[in-house]
Amino acid sequence: MHLDRILRIINYPLIEMLLKDNNDNIGYIDKMKKSELKKLKYNDDNDDDGDGNDTNNNNIQQKQQHYRRFQNVQFLLQTFIFIFWFIRGFIVLFLDDCSITATILGSIFNLLKIVRIYPELVAFHFAIKDFLCHFIIFGNYKRYRFYQYIISYCHQIYNPHLNDEQNIISLSERKLSPKTIFNLDQKELYRLILFIKQRFYGHCHIVCGTSILVGLTGNLVFFSVNPMDNHFYLFGHSYTLYSIYCLFYPCFCAIWSYYGFMWTSNLLTYFCIVCRILQAKSFKNELQIKNLKRFLTHRLRSHLSDQSDLFDEIRMLNEFWCSYLSITITVYIVLSCLSLYIITFTNVLISMKIFFTVIFIQPVTIILLLTITSANLCFQIFRLNKRYYSILAMRQNNSGGRQNLRLKFKVMSTLELINSNTIGFTLNNQKIIDYKAIGMVIANTTTLFVLVGQNLRNN
């Protein structure tokens, strides 16, 4: 089966909730601009304004537009699932092992001779992660439209929900050609298309593989438990009813895992694609300076304008991604520590050790991918400082003049901005994610693992 068919199936909720009837509102996006996002935010209202005299009707339409994202069966279903697992994960942490409520809520790890709190803490943090990722997108109308804007920004290069022929037709309908997108050369655009395809292939594997793994492992766990130890009388001593319960709960877990990883993996995929596009633009700007043999005013002015637009794009995109990066890195550090503790310090079955090893690898891989991807963008931008020093050296050999002095000031300002290491994606505390951040993440993870181990072993 082709990528576009698989992806339309896997991303069906995302298509219904975010992409349906959205292409008419968002056209070609060459550069991310706040003015365009603001215009997009109120685009539908402006379309229905008429003469613009009926203010009350406009306000009502605006409110309806803001709440339209909630009027979706998929949204209601996913919100119920995420809230249920969040509340369930909190409740089971305070239940006794032999509690009837623990059986009803599917908390049976103690019957496998495992200290129940450790795996339940892992499940609770996954519930936190899913709930917060959902909230990032749908909790605020501006972020909701911003994410649609980002998706369209990536899809104009290659829409993975369409096949190659449909992508060509889509470009022709918008009177675009591959040569006009971001003014990049054909080879770079081809590399970007391959990168997008690879990322979405990985997205399909993550979502499908995780959902199947959770469903199969859940069935093995539930059916390996002795019904007599699991309040069998609640099911009227009926093995049929108990078997239905043992099938239903793992399937419900798999559905939760599917929705959770679909959003998490999509956010991760689009973040990587956005960084790759920004790297390509930065590399194009670097080539402009590299090919600059003399201090040519018009070419340098054009380059500085492109570079300024790129910096503005990064700052604007960071307004959306900083919350996602902060939540994901923080929660996944805790998840990796808890999973590693279960693997190394608890006496569990080998099958459960394998399961939690997979759980441990997943957050560690995502943390490294996020930090390295963001750090690569920072490094690509920082490489430009040598080019600007060479331009300033060219300037010394040119005659003065007010115009040249202005350009020199702009070059020095851009150089200072690059050297200040403030251009790139950050956490909510404005900490830039560069290669130094990788060491910081490793140090924090190690420290937290020691603290978690000491605290849990003492309790």
**Domain extent listing, the chain:** 3-458
State the Cα–Cα distance between residues 181 and 257, nearest whole angstrom: 36
Tally DSSP H helices, then E strands, for the chain: 17, 0
> Which amino acid belongs to residue 283?
F
pTM of the model: 0.87
Q: Read off the pLDDT of residues 350-376 as tens digits, 9 standing for 90 and up.
A: 878 888 888 899 889 999 999 999 999
Instruction: Please provide the distance, in angstroms rounded to a whole number, between the alpha carbons at the two ends of the chain.
Output: 51
Buried b (16+ CB within 10 A) or exposed e, 157-178: bbbbbbeeeebeebbeeeeeeb
Look at residue 159 and tell me whether its pLDDT is greater than 90. no
Buried b (16+ CB within 10 A) or exposed e, 407-432: bbebbeebbebbeeeebbbbbeeeeb
State the Cα–Cα distance between residues 415 and 429, nearest whole angstrom: 24
Determine the distance from the C-alpha atom of residue 267 to the mean position of all C-alpha atoms in its chain, rounded to a whole number.
Answer: 2
DSSP codes joined into one string, 159-225: -TTS-HHHHHHHHHHTT--GGGSTT--HHHHHHHHHHHHHHHHHHHHHHHHHHHHHHHHHHHHHHTS
* DSSP bridge pairs for 426: 432
State the Cα–Cα distance between residues 202 and 265, nearest whole angstrom: 9
Position 144 confidence tier, pLDDT thresholds 50, 70, 90: confident
pLDDT (0 to 100) of residue 71: 76
What lies within 8 Å, CB to CB, of 400 at 6+ separation is none
Least confident of 34-43, 139-148, 372-381: 34-43
Task: Tell me the average pLDDT of the chain.
Answer: 81
Give the mean pLDDT of 445-452.
83
State the Cα–Cα distance between residues 223 and 419, nearest whole angstrom: 60
Phi-psi region of 432 (alpha: psi -120 to 50; beta: other; left: phi over 0): beta
* DSSP bridge pairs for 432: 426
Q: Read off the pLDDT of residues 393-446 as tens digits, 9 standing for 90 and up.
A: 665 555 555 556 777 777 788 888 887 777 889 888 888 888 888 888 888 888
Q: Read off the pLDDT of residues 289-320 as tens digits, 9 standing for 90 and up.
A: 777 655 567 777 887 888 888 888 898 899 89
Position 50 confidence tier, pLDDT thresholds 50, 70, 90: very low
Q: Is 426 helix (H, G, I), strand (E, B) or coil?
A: strand
What lies within 8 Å, CB to CB, of 402 at 6+ separation is none
pLDDT (0 to 100) of residue 286: 82
Cβ proximity of 15 and 161 under 8 Å: yes
pLDDT (0 to 100) of residue 398: 55
Q: Is 432 helix (H, G, I), strand (E, B) or coil?
A: strand
> Which amino acid belongs to residue 254?
A
